[in-house]
Structure 1
Amino acid sequence: MPSKPGRICPCGFKVPGGERCSCQLRRDRERKARHDLKRPSSSARGYNPAWQKESAEFRRANPSCRRCGAPATLVDHIEPHRGNMKLFWNRANWQPLCTPCHSRAKQAEEKAPR
């Protein structure tokens, strides 16, 4: 099976096929850091001790990941609440997920164009 050919990055370095140049990785890290500086803290977004308590209770009642059946490690909001506290606390909008399902599949779905 043929692999992607290498390329020359705009910075001048040769990059193997399918990989990213270190300058691109650095720019991505810097962009994400700038975004995080503007983002409210997790407790300001509602993930405070009250959430921790409710989340733990929900996981005890729903111990398996809704997607793959593995042990659930977190509670996910089915519809992103985006600061809407009524939606944030609506248990009908919660689902138990394992970290891999939340980190991969769910995040990819939320990033997809609608």
Structure 2
Amino acid sequence: HASRESLTVKVEVYEGEQSVVLPCQYRQVLENILTVKWSRYDLNPNTVHQQQEGDDLHSQNQLFKGRTSMTPLDSGDFNLTLKKPKLSDSGNYTCSIIDDEGEKKL
């Protein structure tokens, strides 16, 4: 069974900023992390950014195309950088990790 933890970041965006960083860190042992996913559940599709061994953006919402980046997963730092934020980017973002036991929301 997968334990579920939740990290939801509320983002308020001001026009004209170069970028905004959404924080997400995981302090437990990282052995079998397969995927980290940032989501915004008021959008369809809800994927803001997904990373496995590299960026996996085939299911990314087109509103974020070319505007998101993450550091490599082995850093334990899953912060999402959102470039050229718009007022419409304001909202609640959820950081989740998916390992071989299932999905955990941080």
Report the TM-score range of the alignment, normalised by the length of the smaller protein: under 0.3
TM-score, normalising length from structure 1? 0.18
TM-score, normalising length from structure 2? 0.19
Higher relative contact order (Cα pairs below 8 Å, separated by 6+ residues): 2
Greater fraction helix: 1
Radius of gyration: which is bigger? 1
